[in-house]
């Protein structure tokens, strides 16, 4: 099979509504990788978005058992990527919950409703993200760690000013920007690596240290 033949075959499979999702996943991924096709070109040829095609190709990396379960559930394209990046437990739980909801007629079949429901199930199973956990760190904890970091000479002048600003923002219930959150996580991880924030701290701040390390997932 050459590239033109592969493109034509993928186009036929992708746009055939009578084929189940599992067949599309295995057949399209096999043809795509066998001849070394390009994502953007292939997506344009079959009138799909690159994200949709990439998500389907990612699903092909899952086990045959999971592909079969996903095929039976027939989730909308909008959550293919989410499933492809989940672990086995998360996929099984999300698809089981989806099937139960549909069986009980508690979920409409429109893509937005299905996507929203599965997304919520995945988030619930995955638990809060590191950003969400760090966002819950108290202003007083940030202030304490900043002072301790200064004592350990583990912070630059900019980092000291930054942590002071973050503590003030949190004390006033102001949300952090994505950029601020990334900087905060980076600084806290650095302090953990330098031994400023540690489990079983001998500095009588083990409760604070543990809270921060828990938030960081360390």
- CB distance 212 to 145 below 8 Å: yes
Tokens 């202030």 sit on residue: 143
Q: What is the pLDDT of residue 112?
A: 55
Mark whether 163 and 193 lie in a shared domain.
yes
Q: Are 140 and 183 in contact (CB under 8 A)?
A: no
The tally of domains found in the chain comes to 3
CA atoms within 13 A on the CB side of 126: 18
What's the whole-model pTM score? 0.59
User: Of 12-16, 92-96, 214-218, where does mean pLDDT reach its minimum?
Assistant: 92-96
Q: Is there a single domain that holds both residue 86 and residue 143?
A: no
Q: Are 187 and 163 in contact (CB under 8 A)?
A: yes
pLDDT of residue 103 exceeding 80:
no
User: How many other CB atoms are there within 10 angstroms of residue 208's CB atom?
Assistant: 20
Run of H or E including 144: helix 139-151
Res 107 pLDDT > 80 = no
What end-to-end distance do the CA atoms of the chain give, in Å? 50
Among candidate residues 38, 50, 104, the one with its CA nearest the CA of residue 80? 50
Task: Say whether both 100 and 167 belong to one domain.
Answer: no
Residues 137 and 208 occupy one common structural domain? yes
Residue keyed to tokens 């994200």: 51
Sequence-distant (6+) residues with CB within 8 A of 164 are 143, 146
Which pLDDT does position 102 carry in this prediction?
Answer: 72
Whether the CB-CB separation of 130 and 185 falls below 8 Å is answered with yes
Residues 92 and 145 in one domain: no
User: 14: domain range?
Assistant: 1-61
Domain end residue (candidates: 127, 155, 170): 127
Least confident of 17-21, 64-68, 120-124, 156-160: 120-124
Q: Are 194 and 208 members of one domain?
A: yes
Inter-CA distances, 136 with 144, 148, 198, 199, Å: 15, 20, 19, 19
């Amino acid at each position: 099979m050459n590239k033109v033949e592969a493109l034509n075959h993928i186009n036929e499979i992708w746009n055939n509504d009578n084929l189940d999702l599992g067949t599309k996943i295995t057949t399209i991924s096999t043809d795509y990788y066998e001849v070394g096709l390009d994502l953007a070109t292939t997506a344009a040829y079959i009138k799909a978005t690159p994200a949709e095609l990439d998500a389907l190709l990612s699903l092909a990396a899952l086990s045959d058992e999971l592909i079969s379960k996903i095929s039976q559930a027939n989730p909308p394209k909008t959550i293919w990527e989410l499933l492809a990046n989940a672990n086995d437990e998360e996929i099984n739980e999300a698809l089981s919950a989806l099937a139960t909801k549909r069986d009980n007629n508690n979920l409409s079949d429109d893509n937005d409703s299905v996507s929203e429901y599965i997304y919520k199930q995945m988030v619930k199973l995955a638990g809060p993200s590191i950003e969400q956990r760090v966002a819950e760190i108290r202003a007083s904890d940030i202030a304490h760690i900043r002072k301790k970091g200064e004592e350990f000479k583990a912070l630059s002048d900019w980092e000291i000013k930054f942590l002071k600003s973050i503590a003030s923002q949190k004390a006033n219930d102001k949300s952090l920007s994505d950029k601020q959150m990334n900087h905060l996580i980076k600084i806290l991880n650095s302090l953990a690596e330098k031994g400023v924030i540690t489990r079983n701290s001998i500095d009588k701040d083990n409760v604070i240290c543990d809270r921060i390390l828990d938030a960081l997932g360390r």
